[in-house]
Structure 1
Amino acid sequence: MLGFLVPTDQRRTLDELTDKLDLSVGSVAAKRSAFWIMLVLSAVIAISGVVGDSTATVIGAMIVAPLSIPILGVALGVATGRAALVGRSLLLVVAGIAVVVVLGFLFAQLLPNPVNVLSNAQVVGRTSPKLMDLTAALATGLVAAVAITRRDVGDVLPGVAIAISLVPPLGVVGVCLGSQAPALALGAFVLFASNMLAMIITTTTVLLLAGYGRDAEAPTGRRGRAYLVLGAALILVAVPMVINSLSTLWAGQISDVARDWLREQPSAQVVDVTLHSDTATITVLGPQQLPDLAELQRRVDDLVPWHPDVVVVHNVGGRVRPR
Structure 2
Amino acid sequence: MLSSLRDRVLPDHQRRSLEELEEDLDLSAGDRRSKQSAFWTMLVLAAVIAAAGVLTDSTATVIGAMIIAPLSTPIMGIALGAVQRRRSTAALFVLCGGLVVVAIGALASLVVPASYDLLSDSQISSRTSPGLLDLVSALATGFAGAVALSRRDVAAVLPGVAIAISLVPPLVVTGVCAGQGAWWLALGSFVLFVSNLVAMVVAGMTVFGGLGYATAGRHRGEKSERRTYLALGLLFGAVGLLLAANTAGMVLVQLWTTRASDTAASWLADVPGASVVNVQAHSRTLYIQVRVPGDLPPISSLLTDLQGQVPDGVPVVVTTTEGRQIQAGRVGG
Q: Which bin holds the TM-score, normalised by the shorter protein?
A: 0.7 to 0.9
Structure 1 residues 308 and 68, CA gap change in structure 2 (3 angstroms): farther
Contact 2:118/2:125 (8 A) holds in 1? no
- Answer yes or no: is the 8 Å Cα contact 1:280–1:308 preserved in 2: no
CA distance in 1, matches of 2:319, 2:238: 40
Contact 1:288 1:316 in 2 (8 A): no
SS in 2 for 1:271: strand
Q: C-alpha displacement at 1:232, in angstroms?
A: 2.2
Offset from partner CA, 1:155-174 (integer Å, 9 cap, x none): 11111111001001111111
**CA contact under 8 A between 2:267 and 2:297: conserved in structure 1?**
no
Corresponding position of 1:222: 224
Q: Aligned-pair distance for 1:268? A: 4.4
Match of residue 39, structure 1, among 17, 32, 43:
43
Q: Distance in 2 between matches of 1:240 and 1:136?
A: 16
Following the alignment from structure 2 to structure 1, what is the Cα–Cα distance between the partners of residues 248 and 289? Answer: 23
Kept after mapping to 1: 8 A contact 2:285/2:317: no
Distance 1:27 1:59 in 2: 29
- CA contact 1:270–1:284 (8 Å) conserved in 2: yes
CA contact (8 A) 1:282 1:310 kept: no
- CA shift in 2, pair 1:204/1:65, >3 Å: same
Map of 1:12 onto structure 2: 16
Normalised to the residue count of structure 1, the TM-score between the two structures is: 0.88
Question: Aligned pair 1:289/2:294, yes or no?
Answer: no
Task: Give the CA deviation at 1:318.
Answer: 7.2
Would you say the 8 A contact 1:108–1:114 is kept in 2?
no
Question: For the Cα contact (< 8 Å) 2:257–2:281, is it kept in 1?
Answer: no
Q: Residue 200 and residue 317 in structure 1: after superposition, are their counterparts in 2 closer, same or farther (change >3 A)?
A: closer
Per the alignment, residue 147 of structure 2 pairs with 146
Segments of structure 2 that go 5 or more residues without pairing to the other structure are: 324-333
CA positional deviation for 1:188: 0.6
Q: What's the TM-score once normalised by structure 2's chain length?
A: 0.85
Aligned equivalent of 1:274: 281
Q: CA RMSD in A?
A: 2.2
Report the AA paired with residue 240 of structure 1: L
Q: Aligned partners of 1:249 and 1:143: how far apart in 2?
A: 29
Residue 304 of structure 1 aligns with which residue? none
SS of the counterpart of 2:116? helix
Evaluate the alpha carbon distance shift between residue 153 and residue 316 of structure 1 in structure 2; reply closer, same or farther with a 3 A threshold: closer
The letter for the 1-side match of 2:94 is: V
Given candidates 49, 61, 72, the residue that maps to 2:65 is 61
Q: Deviations over 1:76-103 (max 9, x none)?
A: 0111111x11xx1110000000111111
Number of the residue aligned with 1:102? 103
d(CA) in 2 for partners of 1:80, 1:308 = 55
Secondary structure at the counterpart of residue 298 of structure 1: coil
Deviations 1:174-204 (A, max 9, x none): 1111111111111110011111111000010
Q: Distance in 2 between matches of 1:149 and 1:120?
A: 38
Deviation at 1:299, TM superposition (A): 3.2
Residue 238 to residue 309, structure 1, CA distance change in 2 (3 Å): farther
| Ranges in structure 1 where 5+ consecutive residues have no aligned partner | 301-306
Q: Alpha-carbon deviation of 1:44?
A: 0.8
Q: Does 1:237 align with 2:239?
A: yes
- Tell me if the contact between 2:127 and 2:170 (Cα under 8 Å) persists in the aligned partners: yes
Q: What is the percent sequence identity of the aligned residues?
A: 44
Say if 1:109 and 1:318 are closer, same or farther in 2 by CA, change over 3 A: closer
| 1:192-231 alignment runs, 5 A limit | 192-217=193-218, 219-231=221-233
The answer to whether the 8 A contact 2:135-2:240 is kept is yes
SS at match of 2:67: helix
* Cα distance change on mapping 1:292 and 1:30 into 2, 3 Å: closer
Cα separation, 1, equivalents of 2:37 and 2:322: 62
Contact kept, 8 Å, 2:287 with 2:319, in 1: the verdict is no
The 3 A distance-change label for structure 1 pair 257 and 112 is closer
> What secondary structure is seen at the aligned counterpart in 2 of 1:309?
coil
